[in-house]
Structure 1
Amino acid sequence: MMELILKPLEYLWIKWAIDDLQGKNKKPIFDWIFPIFSSIIVTFFLYYTFNIDSRDFKIFFESKGFEVLGNFILTLPGFLFAALTAVVSFGNKELDITAKFNPPINKHGHEISRRRYLSNAFSYLTFLSLALLVSTVFINYAYSSNIMNFGPIYYKLGYLATSLIYFTFVFQMLFILIITLYYIGDKLHQPSIVSSNQDNN
């Protein structure tokens, strides 16, 4: 049962660059390296601006910025699910062809079609947006009700740790969404070949 619930996470095991001369998989750069680096920058900014002794100070999770981010995340699941439905149902045969250059490879080592790759990407993005939505509601409640206040030191450490983890996945969603848009807008129109090993799953 748990395997079915976590099925969208298979996107994270997809690899790129099968024909890279150095054999490097560049996908983790967008899945993890850029998001973690961006999250560290944001967390450092929150650490630098943290001033709990000030009467006017509000942590990010109690600010208007977090409310705006929460509203943005609230709209994403419906949009991403609609995009997933469009990719699955769209009748363009080019989507069922394996890319000629750097075709995606699933965790079983099989080249997969463009449609399968996009389906996996939007499936994971929808899953992630729902997880972030639940996390946003919980974080908002936890900090607005002041149940996270275990003393100044632990409060600050918890705040920064929460920020690091939360923004890692926010940025991961944004970077994967950007790469998926690039894939639809550009890579999808590059030359392709029919692969004999196409999407065996």
Structure 2
Amino acid sequence: MMELILKPLAYLSIKWAIDDIDGKNKKPIFDWFFPIIFAIIVTAFFYLTLDFNSANFKIFFESKGFEVLGNFILALPGFLFAALTAVVSFGNTELDITATVNPPINKDGHEISRRRYLANAFSYLTFLSLALLIATIFINYAYSSNIIKLGISFYKFGYLFTAFIYFTFVFQMLFVLIITLYYIGDKVHQPSKYPKNQDDKKK
């Protein structure tokens, strides 16, 4: 049962074919490296701007910025699900073939079609946006209702740790979305490698 629920996470196991001289798969850079780096920068900013002695100070999770981010995340699942539906149902046969340069490879080592890659990407983005929406609601409730009763040191650590984890996945969603938009806008228009329905047969 859990395997079915977590199936959208299969996107993270997809690799880009090795086509650079260093022989490295560059996809984890966008999936994890950039999101973690940006989350560290944001968390460091929150740490440097902490001022619990000021009567006007509010942590990010009690600010208007968090409200705006929450509204943005609230609108995403419907948009991403519509994009996923469009990718799956769109009749362009160019989506059913494998790219010539740097085709995506699933965890079994098979080169997959453009449609399969985009479907996996939008499936993961939809899953992640729903998870972030639930996390946003819980964080908003936890901080606005003051149910977190901890000493100041633990409160600071919990705030910064929560911010780091939260923004890691927020930035991951943004970077995966950017790469997916690049794939739609440029990659799918590059020359094809295999005829229709041959991509899943080639290892």
User: What percentage of aligned pairs have identical amino acids?
Assistant: 77
Counterpart of 2:158 in 1: which secondary structure? helix
Shift of 1:192: 1.1
| Superposed displacement of residue 148, structure 1 | 1.8
Report the equivalent of 1:57. Answer: 57
Letter of the 1:143 counterpart: Y
**5+ long unaligned stretches in structure 1:** none
What is the number of equivalent residue pairs in this alignment? 201
Write the letter of the residue equivalent to 2:65: G
Deviation at 1:146, TM superposition (A): 1.1
Unaligned runs of 5+ in 2: none
Q: Kindly provide the amino acid, as one letter, of the partner of residue 9 in structure 2.
A: L
Calculate the TM-score normalised by the size of structure 2.
Answer: 0.96
Partner of 2:7: 7
1:80 maps to which residue?
A: 80
Secondary structure of the equivalent of 1:192? coil
Distance in 2 (CA, whole Å) between partners of 1:138 and 1:181 is 30
Residue in structure 2 matched with residue 27 of structure 1 by the alignment: 27
**SS where residue 115 of structure 1 aligns?**
helix
How much is the aligned-residue C-alpha RMSD, in angstroms? 1.4
- Give the match's secondary structure for 1:22: coil
Q: Is the 8 A contact 1:17 1:23 kept in 2?
A: no
* Aligned partners of 1:20 and 1:102 also within 8 Å: no
| Residues 16-63 of structure 1: CA deviation (Å, up to 9, x unaligned) | 133333321000000000000000000000000011111100000000
Q: Which residue number in structure 2 is paired with residue 104 of structure 1? A: 104
1:111 and 1:197 in contact (8 A); partners too: no
Q: Please say which of residues 144-153 and 164-173 is displaced more in the overlay.
A: 144-153
Cα separation, partners in 2 of 1:83 and 1:184, compared to 1, 3 Å? same
Cα distance in 2 between the residues matched to 1:107 and 1:165: 26
Q: Is this contact kept in 1: 2:97–2:198, CA < 8 A?
A: no
